[in-house]
């Protein structure tokens, strides 16, 4: 018969379990901090997509020129290149109507009204960092990034669970922590109740 190994006291077992939890929370927290900032900043940016373009700035410049007689597309394009002092013929062009024409250059474009002599030059510019943040957050990379984003989500889950149970005493879940936990859970529940189910 094997001699029975004495089990460590309950308090010691609990302490070593908490030590592991703290280590997981700390190291996972450090690991996902950068990506959490990326997702948070991008999240705010794309939440307001209806009010702005979170990826690009569209610089628009109004220009005036001596009206061009509406004729064939090539004639109008040649006249606009000269009158608007454009850097040579456009890569592409298209007439929307007899007097409205679009000229496309590499990375920018012009919408002109040949009859009224007005034009709008539009140049899109990527928003610094935000474009990259959104690219990752909205998973436009796809492929392996999808799996990495899943790992990140699991890491956040681990952070949430370990964060809830990590502290003991009056600051922990048994103390004031439960009220914060309840409050945090109630917010989405109330929103769901009023905006979806009632």
Among 22, 37, 91, 185, binds another protein (CB under 8 A): 91
Which 138-177 residues touch another protein, going by CB under 8 A?
A: 138, 140-145, 147-148, 151-152, 155
**Residue 101 or 177 with smaller CB distance to another protein:** 101
Nearest-angstrom CA–CA distance, 23 and 34 = 18
- The closest of 105, 107, 101 to 90, measured between CA atoms, is 105
x-marked contacts with another protein along 55-84 as a string, rule CB under 8 A: xx-x-x------------x-----------
Instruction: Please identify, among the stretches 3-11, 27-35, 176-184, 188-196, the one whose residues bind another protein according to the rule CB under 8 A.
Output: 27-35
**Residue 59 or 191 with smaller CB distance to another protein:** 59
Nearest-angstrom CA–CA distance, 150 and 169 = 33
With a CB cutoff of 8 Å and minimum separation 6, the contacts of 149 are 136, 139
Query: How many other CB atoms are there within 10 angstroms of residue 161's CB atom?
Result: 13
Among 31, 36, 70, 118, binds another protein (CB under 8 A): 31
Q: Is the dihedral of CA 159, 164, 165, 166 positive or negative?
A: positive
By CB under 8 A, tell whether 107 contacts another protein: yes
Which residues face 118 on adjacent strands? 64, 113
Question: Distances in Å between the alpha carbon of 141 and those of 8, 67, 126, 135, 163?
Answer: 50, 46, 17, 7, 30
Nearest-angstrom CA–CA distance, 188 and 24 = 27
By CB under 8 A, tell whether 96 contacts another protein: yes
Among 17, 40, 104, 169, binds another protein (CB under 8 A): 104
| Binding stretches for another protein (CB under 8 A) | 24, 27-28, 30-32, 35, 46, 49-53, 55-56, 58, 60, 73, 90-92, 94-98, 102, 104-107, 109, 122, 124, 135, 138, 140-145, 147-148, 151-152, 155
């Amino acid at each position: 018969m094997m001699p029975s190994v004495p089990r460590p006291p309950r308090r010691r077992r609990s302490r070593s379990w908490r030590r592991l939890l703290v280590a997981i929370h700390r190291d996972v927290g450090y690991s996902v901090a950068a990506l959490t900032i990326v997702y948070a900043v991008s999240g705010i940016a794309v939440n307001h997509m209806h009010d702005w373009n979170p990826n690009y700035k569209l610089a628009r410049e109004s220009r005036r020129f001596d009206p061009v007689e509406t004729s064939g597309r090539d004639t109008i394009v040649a006249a606009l290149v000269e009158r608007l002092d454009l850097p040579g013929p456009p890569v592409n062009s298209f007439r929307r109507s007899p007097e409205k024409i679009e000229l496309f250059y590499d990375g920018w474009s012009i919408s002109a009204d040949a009859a009224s002599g007005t034009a709008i030059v539009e140049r899109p510019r990527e928003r610094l960092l935000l474009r990259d943040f959104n690219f990752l957050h909205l998973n436009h990379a796809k492929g392996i990034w999808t799996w990495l984003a899943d790992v990140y989500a699991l890491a956040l889950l681990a952070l949430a669970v370990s964060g809830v149970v990590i502290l003991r005493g009056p600051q922990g879940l048994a103390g004031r922590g439960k009220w914060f936990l309840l409050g945090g859970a109630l917010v989405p529940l109330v929103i769901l109740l009023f905006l979806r189910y009632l």
